[in-house]
Amino acid sequence: MKRICIPIIEKTMEKALEAIGEAKGAADLIELRMDYVREPRLAGLLSGGWKPFIVTNRRKEEGGRYQGHEKKRLAILEEAIKLGADYVDVEIRTEKSLLKGLMANRKGTQIVLSFHDFKETPSQKELREIFNQMNRLGADVVKIVTFAKSWEDNLNVLSLIPYVRKRKQEVVAFCMGEKGKASRILAPLMGAVWTYASLNKDRISAPGQLTAKEMKEIWERLR
């Protein structure tokens, strides 16, 4: 069962390859954040084949660093599909024609359709509608990540997991922020296919992210 995905957020190819080597012992999946790498050579990063890879090129509006043209941003995800990446993660707010084009040409790569809200957690009704929209588009995995302003926000997002699973859909769902840490821990125990954790405290890619070591220690205690 997939549990921990470690994002690689290095700025150079050399450091990214080193980080992949470090992550292989702790991760079930590795996310390549191409929006961080200055001169990315995707084939070189995927060639190690240590773990299943998720390729992401996150735009600034959704917590990433990419600020260029949308066609160029998606070209990296298209390249990932051609190179046989296990997953690509693309935002549901991507321009519809580009999004549908990517999904129509996915080949053997699974599409993670993602939604991020860095300000708050929408209502359960809104969260379900976001999922339904993703489902209609034909996502292989739906990823819904929101910001927890209260402890109750964790419950709103975690309750989405059984709702999605009943519809035979794989899901990643949790909250960001200090108050969202509980959902990061509990999501895989409730049926989410994975959660995200960093290599160490200096490599956190989103607010409230725990390290892989911390996550495993907590799961061990819960057992």
Catalytic residues: 116, 143
**Euclidean distance between the first and the last CA atom of the chain, given in angstroms as a whole number:** 16
SS3 88: strand
Residue pair 147/177 in contact (Cβ under 8 Å)? The answer is yes
Neighbouring CB atoms inside 10 A of 203's CB total 17
SS3 114: strand
The strand order across the sheet containing 4-8 reads 170-176, 141-147, 110-117, 87-91, 53-56, 29-33, 4-8, 195-196
**How far is residue 63 from each of residues 36, 37, 42, 57, 216, measured CA to CA in Å?**
11, 15, 21, 11, 26
Residue pair 33/5 in contact (Cβ under 8 Å)? The answer is no
| DSSP-assigned beta bridge partners for residue 174 | 145
